[in-house]
Amino acid sequence: MLASAKQLFAPSHYMTPRESNSDALRAETLYNRIDILDLDLASLDSVKKCADEFDKKENRLDLLFLNAGVASTPPALTQEGFEYQFGINHMGHALLTQLLVPKMIQTRQEDPRADVRIVATASNAAFAPFLPKGGLALNVMRQPDAYSPMGLYAHSKLANVLFIRKIAQIYPGARGVVSMLFKAVVWATAVDTDQGAKSQLWCGTAPLGGVTGVQTAQYYEPVGKSRMLKGVAADQKLTDELWEWTNSALASYGGKDWPIM
């Protein structure tokens, strides 16, 4: 599944900005079935509706791409009052993941051979010098202009990194079920669309493990080049802080508990 700010992609259901393009996609991919689900990551209500619709339509979920994003936008708030870039790039994706993880676990339980992965896209901005002091600034994520637009973008991309690190940590070894679930994480660098997409596709399709394969909770640059996490991106205290804050905030808007294996 691939998520965008307004729409949702599923592993065998591809979506374009215009529904009329679905015929061209059918011809190119040879997929007979293409479903388009509305998804606005600036609205947690929309995220819930989308996840619910997917859950009712589908009996499995193999691949979740968290690749939507806005960058350096004018000051604004999401529907629920989060800083716009943080709300879309982090909060919307966090709720979507939380609501779809049970379907991914179900997929792995019902089909032990299923290769189930989550691939997230961030940016080198997560390591930028214009991050808020200390890395996280959660106390002002209800303000639209607490930092510069690029500073807020970097903040949201750091949140992507920390969030996925925590996801990998809370499911350390559930008899192969969740070790398969979170096998791939990728953050793209500032390259063109085609080049950037290659790293996501590599993380979604390359063999798992080994010297040249995909490793869980790693940061990959195009294409398939692992980069060591340092500084605030590798800070466990910040990772835990973001996790607790995010879950508390999501609970106020219908978020659920993460499944216990």
DSSP codes, 150-202: HHHHHHHHHHHHHHHHHHHHHSS-STTHHHHHT-------S--HHHHHHHHHH
pLDDT tens column, 169-215 = 887 646 444 444 455 566 555 567 777 688 888 888 888 877 788 88
Domain assignment present for residue 259? The answer is no
Six-digit token string for 129:
């010098």
Query: What tokens does 125 get?
Result: 């901005």
Q: 22 versus 208: which is more confidently predicted?
A: 208
Q: Where are the alpha helices (DSSP H) in 73-148?
A: 84-86, 93-110
Q: Is residue 257 part of a domain?
A: no
What predicted TM-score, i.e. pTM, was given to this entire model? 0.85
Q: State which residues form the domain around 98.
A: 2-251
What's the whole-number mean pLDDT along residues 92-117?
A: 92
| 189/242: higher pLDDT | 242
241 three-state secondary structure: helix
In a domain, 74, yes or no: yes
The percentage of residues in the chain with a pLDDT greater than 70, rounded to a whole number, is 83
Q: Which residues are known catalytic residues?
A: 153
The CATH code of the domain that includes 191 is 3.40.50.720
**What sign does the CA torsion over 193, 222, 219, 234 have?**
negative
Asked whether residue 258 is assigned to any structural domain, the reply reads no
Over residues 108-130, mean pLDDT: 86
Q: What is the mean pLDDT of residues 6-21?
A: 40
Q: What is the pLDDT of residues 135-178, one digit of tens each?
A: 999 999 999 999 999 999 999 999 999 998 898 888 764 644 44
Confirm whether 148 is domain-assigned.
yes
- Among 14-23, 82-91, 139-148, the range scoring the smallest mean pLDDT is 14-23
> Mean per-residue pLDDT for 210-225?
80
Predicted confidence (pLDDT) at residue 59 exceeds the cutoff of 50: yes
Q: Is residue 235 part of a domain?
A: yes
- Over residues 52-62, the mean pLDDT reads 95
Quote the number of domains for the chain.
1
Is residue 15 situated within a structural domain?
Answer: yes
When computed from its CA atoms, the radius of gyration of the chain, rounded to whole angstroms, is: 17
Is the Cβ–Cβ distance between 152 and 86 less than 8 Å? yes
Neighbouring residues of 258: CB distance < 8 A, sequence distance ≥ 6 = 98, 101, 170, 247
Cβ atoms of 91 and 254 within 8 Å: the answer is: no
- Residue 180 maps to a domain: yes
pLDDT above 50 (res 239)? yes
Contact 120, 96 (CB under 8 A): no
Q: Per-residue pLDDT averaged across 92-101, rounded?
A: 95
